Amino acid sequence: MYHVILSLGSNLGDRDFYLAAARQLLELRVGKPTRLSPVIETKSWGYDSHDYLNQVVEYETELEPMELLRVLKEIEVALGRPAESKTKPGTQDYKDRTIDIDILYYEDVEMNTPELTIPHPRIQERPFILDLLDKLKIEN
């Protein structure tokens, strides 16, 4: 089993619903949640728009990183996010979304491909992510 830490964010529609639905689908498709942060509301990051609800969750998974990325994209699309809305690597073309799921950490893996960079390259630029990482709690 591998431990992966994901960030979840939503700023369109029923944001609470989309976070809860994402956690439910992640448990079905990715694995057991082991730690989770509280949900917080933050201003949009990288562009001016609706506020986000954000959460960080750790999962135990058997999925390898690229397979995990594929599953995360499928979950995003299932929850109403157009497949083409994902920000292209190297750009800052951010868009509103029903759900955004990013891989922050995957065990001690470091990788940098056109499709996936682990650890997430902008963790240090996002104070709310650092705050949520500090607040990860054991799942009961």
pLDDT at 1: 94
- 90: number of Cβ within 10 Å: 8
Assigned architecture for domain 2-138? 2-Layer Sandwich (3.30)
pTM for the structure as a whole: 0.88
**Domain coordinates in residue numbering, the chain:** 2-138
- pLDDT, tens digit (0-9, with 9 covering 90-100), for 69-106: 999 999 999 999 876 544 544 445 567 889 999 999 99
Residue 47 confidence (pLDDT) above 90: no
List the structure tokens of 21: 């639905």
Q: Which residues in 64-83 are b (16+ Cβ under 10 Å) and which e?
A: ebeebbebbeebbeebebee
Model pLDDT, residue 91: 44
Could you report the per-residue pLDDT of 107-135, keeping only the tens digit for each?
Answer: 999 999 999 999 999 999 888 999 999 99
The pLDDT assigned to 95 comes to 75
